[in-house]
Structure 1
Amino acid sequence: MAITPADDFLIHQTPYTFDRVATSDRNFYDRYFFNGYSPDGAVYFGVAMGQYPNLGITDAAFSIVVDGRQRVVRASKRLGPDRMASAVGPISVEVVRPLHELRVRVEPNAYGIEADLRFIARSLPVEEPHFFRMAGNVPVMDYTRMTQHGGWSGTIRVDGREFALEAARWWGSRDHSWGIRTVGVRDPRGAPPQQPPQFFWNWAPLNFPDLCTLYTVSEHGDGTRWHQSGVILTPYPDATMTEAAVDYRLKFKSGTRWLESAVITLAPEHGEPLEITFEPLYAFLMKGLGYGDPKWGHGMWVGEDAVDGTEYVLSDEQPLQNLHVQQVSRVRAGSREGLGVFEIIVFGPHAPTGFKEMLDPAP
């Protein structure tokens, strides 16, 4: 343990210094995620930065879709004792005004992506219901997540091509989650699981001119829900938050487990239900931010001060080899039109949507 800058604040939650977390579980993590999109949805970017104190690693990635190509710059390094040092390689995140403004920067690098951006909150922050899931006797998820909608200002450059972002027109969302969730190399824990793996995950933060919404559903293979939440928010300056019950109707593209279309319903206790339809435009591959990447996955050791980049041609990517995606979508709720993403993973059987095997595609 060592005294760090964070220890100067009156915010301790344990008897230890801030470089040590309360649990020794190797899978403890603390991560930022951001996304953003142009007014027509044609340009989309995502950002991830995570710390893994019990693995001694921190990593980050910035990935952007332009003209059907998803570009990536990513970095990883030894964490060190100062957990307030939120910079990895060329990528940094600065909390300018907590819960209202954050700054994301990507300094010049060999992979042609640069950015200097500010996320300005449009909505109140939402604490989603706590995530807890067991695999047999072992907790594999035990974490908190806060989600917030916002607008982006600043610039992004890709190979010298510049995009000027205005917060009133370039919208997006962010989350900050922390706790226990599988990270790093595969963790062999005792007896093998008795049931085959299965995961059904929906998460959809959306922005409309006068509303922001959040929908999330996770279900077991028989359709019983182990996590769900729905929120309808009005933007600042008169920000409000209304919780809502949630439901969905999903249609999958033939031969895939990606959505062809979707309808979700947010039903507040008082007032009329809000029905939202999705028109998916394309899929952003979450492996570009480290989710499931075999080498650059979250908490994977790739070396001291490592920086790397890659590119995916989206039309060449196979859907059944990329189950975890955010489908950038136009959305409609009555006369309202907006933008957002439908993040989805459907792995293994799921009775309500008709999947029976590990990877059988939609008919």
Structure 2
Amino acid sequence: MLTKGDDYPIHQTPEPIAYSGSDRNFYDRYFFNAYAPDGSAFAAIAFGVYPALNVADAHIAIVTDGKERCLHASRVLGMERLDLKVGPIAIDILEPLQKLKVTIQKTEGIAGEITFEGRAFPIEEPRFVKRNGPRLFMDYTRLTQNVRASGWLEVDGERIEVAGWVGTRDRSWGIRPVGAPDTQPTPGGGITGFFWQWTPLNFADTSVYFHINADPDGKPWNTRAVILPDGAGPEGGYHSDAPVMETEILPGTRHAKSGKLIIPLAQGEATVKIEPVATFLMRGIGYGGEWRHGALKGELAVAREDLDTVNFDHADPGNLHIQAISRATLSQPGRDDQVGVGVFEQLILGPYRPLGF
């Protein structure tokens, strides 16, 4: 089947673009977030394409005053991967790797238009590869880019001006669990625990990125930290494969009360102190729950969901995956401290002995 993508030099296999290998869990996703400088308002967007499931979905969540207002949309893909619109939510690529726009046509009281412009060239994170016994559990690549955001949002008649906001966008593609879970267990398999932290942070003239995937004993199987000045190109910035995050857990939860990131440098070390101020529940953009990524909802389905980000059940498995909107203080040798804002994404499943789980 020939599609619009076949007229672009983007083929990765001998087949037409409509096909993406043989793994049913292949996905191709956009993610965006943006937030006011004081963390008082926050928005996140996810847009995913699942070629082997023939599904596309999109989500937006807006957090203000302890409430998360979400709009979910899902449709049959029709094997056309370049139609970047699902119901009321659409993406326009204005300048590849630099400027993208998300538009939300007013639906269920939610509307908006936000342009995301990169502060520097995107970073490429190390390739994520993890097996579940003999089966491939994850195999994907992700680019990440801190951004300046502009435009507007509307929630139930209240207009929010997106001016002076910053945030992060990413693009990831490859294999990880999507759609309905497999019903047959794999002998010799079983992921005993999953530990994930991700902290893209925005400062006045600098971005800091950190992530870690670790096993239950705390041994990282994928980690990286990057300090990147505005305007840096593909080879710019400082990259470290040996960062350390010291995490204090909020009692009775699996979420962080605070974090201290330590990045070794030739002239000493950089540190970033992270103080969460508000919570964004990732289920609001399809990370779990009824609207999980890749779920088949029919030809087209659109629905609103409202969540409480203050008085939620921390023990509910659907609420374990969060982004904490956070203040951050960056200290580097020979420079004045910088105060910024970002997110501290967290997902801890099963045992993680360094933190007592």
**TM class by shorter-chain length?**
over 0.9
Answer yes or no: is 1:275 the counterpart of 2:271. yes
Letter in 2 for 1:311: D
Q: Residues 291-310 of structure 1: matches in 2 within 5 Å?
A: 291-293=287-289, 295-310=290-305
SS class of match (1:72): strand
Deviation at 1:24, TM superposition (A): 1.2
Answer yes or no: is 1:113 the counterpart of 2:107. no
Q: 1:188 aligns with which of 183, 187, 191?
A: 183
Deviation at 1:192, TM superposition (A): 4.6
Contact kept in structure 2, 1:124 and 1:241, CA below 8 Å:
no
Contact kept in structure 1, 2:39 and 2:278, CA below 8 Å:
no
List runs of 5+ in structure 2 lacking aligned partners. Answer: 332-336
How much is the aligned-residue C-alpha RMSD, in angstroms?
Answer: 1.4
Distance 1:127 1:196 in 2: 26
Q: 1:340 aligns with which of 315, 339, 342?
A: 342
Contact kept in structure 2, 1:124 and 1:233, CA below 8 Å:
no
Answer yes or no: is 1:20 the counterpart of 2:22. no
Give the number of equivalent residue pairs: 348
Residue 334 of structure 2 corresponds to none
Deviation at 1:190, TM superposition (A): 4.8
Letter in 2 for 1:206: L
Contact kept in structure 1, 2:243 and 2:263, CA below 8 Å:
yes
Contact kept in structure 1, 2:133 and 2:186, CA below 8 Å:
no
Distance 1:302 1:238 in 2: 41
Distance 2:283 2:344 in 1: 16
Deviation at 1:316, TM superposition (A): 2.2
Answer yes or no: is 1:40 the counterpart of 2:38. yes
Deviation at 1:29, TM superposition (A): 0.4
Q: 2:94 aligns with which of 93, 96, 102?
A: 96
Q: 1:75 aligns with which of 51, 59, 73?
A: 73
Deviations 1:261-310 (A, max 9, x none): 11011224x333210001101210000001011x2100001121100011
Distance 2:297 2:49 in 1: 14
Q: Residues 55-66 of structure 1: matches in 2 within 5 Å?
A: 55-66=53-64
Distance 2:77 2:105 in 1: 20
Using structure 2 for the length normalisation, give the TM-score: 0.94
Residue 361 of structure 1 corresponds to none
Residue 151 of structure 1 corresponds to 148
Distance 2:190 2:159 in 1: 50
Answer yes or no: is 1:3 the counterpart of 2:5. no
Deviation at 1:233, TM superposition (A): 0.3
Distance 2:115 2:188 in 1: 44
Residue 324 of structure 2 corresponds to 327
Deviation at 1:162, TM superposition (A): 1.2
Q: 1:317 aligns with which of 301, 312, 317?
A: 312
Letter in 2 for 1:20: Y
Answer yes or no: is 1:211 the counterpart of 2:206. yes
Answer yes or no: is 1:142 the counterpart of 2:144. no
Q: 1:232 aligns with which of 227, 242, 245?
A: 227
Residue 172 of structure 1 corresponds to 167
Q: 1:131 aligns with which of 128, 133, 142?
A: 128
Percent identical: 39
Q: 2:254 aligns with which of 231, 254, 257?
A: 257
SS class of match (2:306): strand
Distance verdict in 2 for CA 1:129–1:325, change over 3 Å: same
Contact kept in structure 2, 1:76 and 1:302, CA below 8 Å:
yes
Letter in 2 for 1:217: I
SS class of match (2:73): strand
Deviation at 1:27, TM superposition (A): 0.4
Letter in 2 for 1:281: V
Using structure 1 for the length normalisation, give the TM-score: 0.93
